Chain A
Amino acid sequence: MADLLLQQLLNWIVLGSIYALIAVGFSLLFGVLNIIHFSHGDVSFVAPFVALGAVQVMVASLPVAATPGILLLCILLALLLTGILGVVLEVLVIRRFRNAPAMMALVATVALGIVLRELIRHLYPNGSNPHPFPRFVSGEIAIGGVNVSLFAVVAVVCSVAAVVGLFALLNHTRLGLHIRAVSQDRDAARLMSISPTRIFRATFFVASAIGAVGAVFFAGYANLIRFDFSIDVGLIGFSAAVLGGLGSMAGAIVGSLLIAGLDTFVQAVVPNGASYRLVFVFLLVIAVLVFKPAGLFGRTVVEKV
């Protein structure tokens, strides 16, 4: 019983950290740009495909085997490329919707997500089918006398490290200071000789790369990757960010843990829970937003006349 409980607890934390890595990107981008980048999840899920493709190319062309080390190298490459992809999309598409009505940017990025998914489907060999995704660590480790999978532990540790790194970046570096300045007041930041355009690109790079970490771990967790994984996970990441309050990093993390908790709980306890998990998750989203219309940690905007 304790075994099972610990296993579920670990599942919850792994899933929660993965969602959080996607959700902080949504929140960060919204805080800085003031638009919803709905295709953020789809950008993030390009990473597992890049990593998988890179491994296959390397194994085919170089005299190396697909060792965990090679896989790790390819994943790092994928994170870098995904970050760059985020910047490219900002320059090509999203930039043009900065001053447009919010709904237009939302619809445009939804369409952008469709384009990204379809591109993966067509450009990746056999892209419509699921592909097995290797875990770069395997085996089990004993915690408190219970064996748990090493991958889960690594996923949680890496996610925590990534989030701590993001907080450090935002709070203790010059770039972070600039990002916060632009998100508070774009025009005042410009007066302080900070170029918002450059900060937008930097934010896109950081958010996409962190989302990519989440996507790679999700693929490892599921042991599988398919082009349309990003629909559900992207939507859940977005919901987590909104639940916590857009623009709040802590809120995004709490939102992710809440959603992952309900997700795990429903799957474990409710009969036939796996097919109803999204129903429960999104009912939770509606319920929270009814009582906290600006999310859990969002600033309630009070208009003064």
Chain B
Amino acid sequence: MPLASYQTSVPVVVDEAKCIADKGCTVCVDVCPLDVLRISDLTGKAYMAYDECWYCMPCEADCPTDAVKVNIPYLLR
């Protein structure tokens, strides 16, 4: 069976101007309980790679530059 990709609007948004993942920071990726954040090899910045969010907030609370914002997933909003 062929697989199709599925469009989804992700709740965690990273401000690339503030994100310092390209300087080696991985705090948000490290703390996420669901392990859904990754560093993009294209931009060097953190982003939400998997839409599997518990909207719990450690990524936002622990980010040293206030670059991460957790929104309520659209389906719940």
A binds B: no
Residue numbers of A with Cβ under 8 A of B are none
